[in-house]
Amino acid sequence: MVRRDEVRNGEKTVTMPETPDAGVVFIGRIHTPWTDRLTCPRLGRMDGPICRIEIFEPWVDALKGIDEYERLEVLYWLHQSRRDLILQSPKNDGIARGAFSLRSPVRPNPIGTQNVKLVRIEGPNVFVQSLDCLDGTPLLDLKPDRDLFTPIAPRQTGDDETRNAAS
């Protein structure tokens, strides 16, 4: 799996659909010290190295207001991951778990998310701590950390609904 794309004892692959259901746009690129999956942190830490998130045009104006938040949520595309491994053995001991029970980079849609500390913004560059991805990882999205964000638009009925069962 993540080590070198191998399939280990007890793991299971599936055939991926030939056509995707939706597309994404890479809005930037993440610059980190790590060039190898074997040395990259498994989960970033808030006192980790300062990394640079470069936003591409025409998306730079979308940074307006982001400096109000001490922490951000970063979503990125783990572009070196295989996508077909649904049972995985993280310890390589023959015991497999489902991809959705792990934060493994190997998943049908290899989206990584990380809460990071905002250090500073310089033009199209957002400097943060706590990332855990390879240098050159494509950026999907940036949002305020959910714990710091209060919706700015007026409340709507669903905001006050509780205990309704989904059909």
- Which residues contribute to the site for ligand SAM (CB under 6 A)? 2, 37, 40-43, 78-81, 103-105, 112-114, 132-134, 137
Rounded Cα–Cα distance for residues 116 and 43 (Å): 11
**Residues 71, 73, 76: CA angle, nearest 5 degrees:** 140
Q: Which is nearer to ligand SAM, 146 or 163 (CB)?
A: 146
Residues 6+ positions from 74 with CB-CB distance below 8 Å: 30, 53, 113, 114, 115, 116, 128, 131, 139, 141, 142
134, burial (CB in 10 Å: exposed 0-12, middle 13-18, buried 19+) = buried
Q: Which is nearer to ligand SAM, 42 or 143 (CB)?
A: 42
Distance of closest approach, residue 31 Cβ to ligand SAM, in angstroms? 12
Q: Which is nearer to ligand SAM, 2 or 85 (CB)?
A: 2
Distance of closest approach, residue 143 Cβ to ligand SAM, in angstroms? 14
Q: Which is nearer to ligand SAM, 94 or 136 (CB)?
A: 136
Distance of closest approach, residue 149 Cβ to ligand SAM, in angstroms? 19
